[in-house]
Amino acid sequence: MPDMPSLNIIVAVAEGARFYAALEAAMAAAALGRPVRLFLQGEAAALVRQPVSFVGDDARRAAGQPDLAWLVGEAIAMEVSLFVCQSGMALAGIAANELVPQVRAAGLVSFLAEVGDDDRVIVY
């Protein structure tokens, strides 16, 4: 599907379940051939600190679902672009070398500057 509008997702809260849902939406859109970018704003930057995990991982694994770390890796493999807020990194005391390697630091302005007129933006 050429020239599909991109999906741009902002995770605005540092909640693992919210990030998990955003990743699922991102992966579904990527599976449909849509370009996807995901931005972790503010304290949500801590969600991609290595090792990636959240309190719901055990329950998800027990239900036969993947944990958050697997979902992040799979999203990256599906070419979902992950960005983390530079200010959020400072708030959470995170250095760049503590992040999942494929995650890029960015600001909200630079992230939004890449959103085209026909693109979609979702905030979780």
pLDDT band of residue 90 (cuts 50, 70, 90) is very high
Region of 68 on the Ramachandran plot (φ > 0 left; ψ -120 to 50 alpha; else beta): alpha
The candidate with the shortest Cα–Cα distance to 119, out of 36, 38, 39, is 36
Q: Which of 1-5, 40-44, 59-63 has the lowest mean pLDDT?
A: 1-5
As a 3-state breakdown, the chain gives helix, strand, coil percent values, each rounded to 5, of 45, 20, 35
Where do the structural domains in the chain lie, given as residue ranges? 7-123
Strand order in the sheet with 81-85: 104-106, 81-85, 36-40, 7-11, 120-123
Which residues make beta-bridge pairs with 11? 40
CA-CA distance, 9 to 91, in Å (whole number)?
21
How many beta carbons lie within 10 A of that of residue 37, not counting itself?
20
CA-CA distance, 55 to 83, in Å (whole number)?
22
| C-alpha 116, offset from chain centre | 19
Average pLDDT of 84-103?
Answer: 96
Taking only the tens place, the pLDDT of each residue in 49-76 is: 999 999 999 999 999 999 999 999 999 9
pLDDT band of residue 124 (cuts 50, 70, 90) is very high
Average pLDDT of 31-42?
Answer: 98
Question: Can you give the pLDDT at residue 4?
Answer: 87
% the chain with pLDDT above 90: 97
pLDDT band of residue 2 (cuts 50, 70, 90) is low
**CATH 3.40.1260.10 for domain 7-123:** yes
